[in-house]
Chains A and B, each alone.
Chain A
């Protein structure tokens, strides 16, 4: 017994180090495991408050830019209001009825890592829940990962864990939107079938099978076309409409029918063994 105590006492610093290292390594491994698995996020009161204060100051530097964006969006909405017959406007999905929109603001943004997250100033108190889609006036940004009372974190399009069903607007061919971690201006649409006709400059929008985003939310345009040698599918470089390095006001999309759809799908498909 005495020897055990002596041993613990003599090596207390090493043991403390191993304990702390173990904790931080487990946090790290956990954060890389799968999405919504992290414990250490900026969706908490302290970091949210600090980022909110910093953002208040920063906002003054981009006031005119933000005003410009809001004004052009207002013009678009007014345009639709006054020309109600014109129903082919691309930016408004026809299925908007089942979606509730919550406005919010990005208070912290990262884009230099392999796994990037945003922090916004809306949380559970405003009705934000996990797995809600987030868009700006230009297009898709990401979806909610974690929420606290007043703040939430978003998995950005620029995150290697991000997956989203998307399609080519012209001919409805589906693919999966991912990011290869290289450039902040481009994402990749993978697994596009070879029989699809892909033309440089075509618009990519969100697909219909997603319960997170409404259909036909713009994402970007085709910039480059590759053929994946292993799978014989197309891989497309997509130039994003959003400048992910400067984001301001955003909209959170709540699908009111999401639970119903998921329950139905679970009831239909037997769980995989």
Chain B
């Protein structure tokens, strides 16, 4: 139990640091930045404290907003993703997910892939709609969502594969 808490705190800090120091300044093709900090929300223990997840996801988003000067869309998207996470679990792994021990950071199965995909899409859609915040630019927001989703998805899956051996 104790080591889980420490791992989650470390994961929070590490993902935030990598996001701020490296990934926010990629600007691939001038506008593409992946946001794999949502891995913190995805990898949070399945049966962990839900209130704690909501609050920590909120602050994760808020810190990112602070560093990016965006105002609040990252916080809103992260909180929503944290809240909808159990629904996505049910959707991807079946109704009785709490009784199996689900591990997201394991070999990529269709269930895990669909879970990550649907989470990333939800998060990015809310993020970009709130970030653009203009009806006449909805198409731009949707295009950004599409491209960034692909980018984040690739980075997330690579990260999970790379970090896997470290966990015991």
Contact = CB atoms under 8 A, between A and B. Distances in A.
B30 interface: yes
Looking at chain B's contact residues, the main secondary structure is: helix
Interface stretch (A112-120, A129-137, A257-265): A112-120
A245 B29 CA distance: 13
Contact of B80 (A21, A115, A245): A21
B94 to A, nearest CB: 22
Interface string B121-140: 00000000011111001000
Nearest to A18: B83
A119 B66 CA distance: 11
Interface residues of A, number: 40
Contacts of B71: 27-28, 30-32, 38, 40
B69 A28 contact: no
Contact of A112 (B21, B30, B55): B30
B72 A112 contact: no
B131 A113 contact: yes
B66 A113 contact: no
Contact of A24 (B31, B55, B62, B66): B62
Contacts of A117: 69
A54 B131 contact: no
Given A40-B66, A50-B67, A112-B33, A24 B58 contact: yes
Nearest to B28: A112
A176 interface: no
A40 B62 contact: yes
Interface in B57-73: 58, 61-62, 65-73
Given A17-B79, A28-B76, A50-B20, A113 B70 contact: yes
Contacts, number: 103
B11 interface: no
Nearest to B53: A13
A110 B133 contact: no
A20 interface: yes
A74 interface: no
A47 B72 contact: no
Interface in B33-80: 33, 50-51, 54-55, 58, 61-62, 65-73, 75-76, 79-80
Given A24-B79, A27-B75, A54-B21, A41 B131 contact: no
Interface in A90-138: 108, 110-117, 119
B105 to A, nearest CB: 24
Contacts of B130: 25, 28
A16 interface: yes
A42 interface: yes
Given A27-B65, A50-B67, A112-B33, 10 more contacts: A17-B83, A20-B54, A21-B76, A23-B58, A23-B75, A24-B62, A24-B75, A41-B69, A114-B137, A184-B30
Interface of B: 20-21, 27, 30-33, 50-51, 54-55, 58, 61-62, 65-73, 75-76, 79-80, 82-83, 130-134, 137
